Amino acid sequence: MSQNLSTDAAAGTVTLKPGDIVLGIESSCDETGAGLVRITDDGVELLGHHLASSQDEHARFGGVVPEIASRAHLEAMTPTVRSAFAAAGVEPRQVTAISVTSGPGLAGALLVGVAAAKAYAGAWDVPLFGVNHVVGHVAADTLEHGPIPADTLALLVSGGHTQLLRVTDIGGEVTEVGTTVDDAAGEAYDKVARLLGLGYPGGPIIDRLAAQGDPTAIKFPRGLTGSKDSAYDFSFSGLKTSVARWVEQAERDGRPIPVEDVCASFQEAVADVLTAKTVRAATDLGLGTVIIAGGVAANGRLRTLAEERCAAAGLTLRVPRIGLCTDNGAMIAALGAHVGRRGAVPSSPLLSGDPGMQVSTVLAS
Ligand code: KG4
Ligand code: ZN
């Protein structure tokens, strides 16, 4: 264990210091991730990470099959952790603390990561932090763009979540400003890809096809944008249904489906609503920095439109590089580092997975 780490025996609080190294483990969905970060004087730096994906095994089902994901995590966990150490050029004895996704996610998948993390923490006698996956996505950005200012609004867009978050302190104070009332943005991408017969995961495929289509070809609905609708909440289920109806009608009429135009028009509707509501919330709440994180933050059109609209509104925009947007272990290590640097009571050795973990809980007890 590092000499840096300090433990307040009375309170049970552990405080990590510059130089301390955190191993992060991610297994909430279909990616097994392990990453190593070092705490610096003013933030965290990525030392190395590794990812194993079971996405190909789910593709023929058009979505993640939980049992397949759990088994794949079991097989991939130890090799992935070893590869992360090799990539980082670090030895296990240098690790000061372990961070693991405690939730939200698939119950069986989470358990594999939590069990592995508890075993490593016990064997190496280091503290364990069970952290929130959603907040981890936002923490990924600190590996690239440094500390998060206190006046930050994050748009978290993934396969399971679409949320606007006020990030007062990434290590412990995050509050929800808005959320989806039905499908997540990534879920809408995956479902539309499925109905177009494009494969899984749908986001990257639609992103690629949309680049060759006309975003104005079909006017798809923008959910929850009426004057009486909740300003900061999202809805994508109506959009998905509208795409399905449009495709069915074209098939009934015997017209060929202009797949690129459908993708581009669908994507425009998603990016339009996400960016409009984000800019509005940041402006209304007086928050000057916007971070976009999660798998859908890899989307080309979302990134471009967010740049345009944030610049026009005088907001500073931060988006992690594409490899750090989708699930990975580095983001979980980063969040554990922020939690530990702030000073926190480590999670119990009885830590379990929490599939429904709320974003207000950054660290599981
Ligand atoms: O954050 P993530 O890797 O996993 C979850 O926590 O859910 O997000 C996965 C989601 C999937 O729905 C996938 O289709 C979507 O992110 N995605 C994208 C792109 N890359 C991944 N959506 C739109 N455009 C992309 N380039
Ligand atoms: Zn995720």
Residue 2: pLDDT above 70? Answer: no
What are the helix and strand counts (H, E) for the chain? 12, 13
Residue 10: pLDDT above 70? Answer: no
Task: Tell me the best of 291, 296, 301, 331 to mutate to test the pocket of ligand 1, counting ligand atoms within 8 Å of each CB and taking the most.
Answer: 296
Average pLDDT score over residue span 198-208: 95
What 3-state DSSP class applies to 166?
A: strand
Q: What is the number of other CB atoms lying within 10 angstroms of the CB of residue 181?
A: 15
Residue 6: pLDDT above 80? Answer: no
Q: What is the pLDDT of residues 143-177, one digit of tens each?
A: 999 999 999 999 999 999 999 999 999 999 999 99
Per-residue pLDDT at 70: 97
Q: What is the pLDDT of residues 312-329, one digit of tens each?
A: 999 999 999 999 999 999
Q: Residue 109's closest CA among 80, 73, 79?
A: 73
Residue 3: pLDDT above 60? Answer: no
Are residues 340 and 150 in contact, defined by beta-carbon separation less than 8 angstroms? no
Average of per-residue pLDDT values in the chain: 96
Q: What is the reported pTM?
A: 0.95
* Ligand 1 atom 18 nearest Cα: 203
Asked if the domains 6-140+328-364 and 152-320 are classified in one and the same CATH topology, the answer is yes
- CATH superfamily membership of 152-320: ATPase, nucleotide binding domain (3.30.420.40)
Ligand 1 atom nearest to CA at 200: 14
Q: Give percent above pLDDT 90 in the chain.
A: 93
Per-residue pLDDT at 55: 87
Give me ligand 1 centre to Cα 296, in Å. 4
Residue 202: pLDDT above 90? Answer: yes
Indicate the domain borders of the chain. Answer: 6-140+328-364, 152-320
Contacting residues for 284 by C-beta, under 8 A, at least 6 apart: 231
**What DSSP state is assigned to residue 149?**
P
CATH architecture for residues 6-140+328-364? 2-Layer Sandwich (3.30)
Give me ligand 1 centre to Cα 13, in Å. 35
Residues in the chain: 365
Average pLDDT score over residue span 58-66: 85
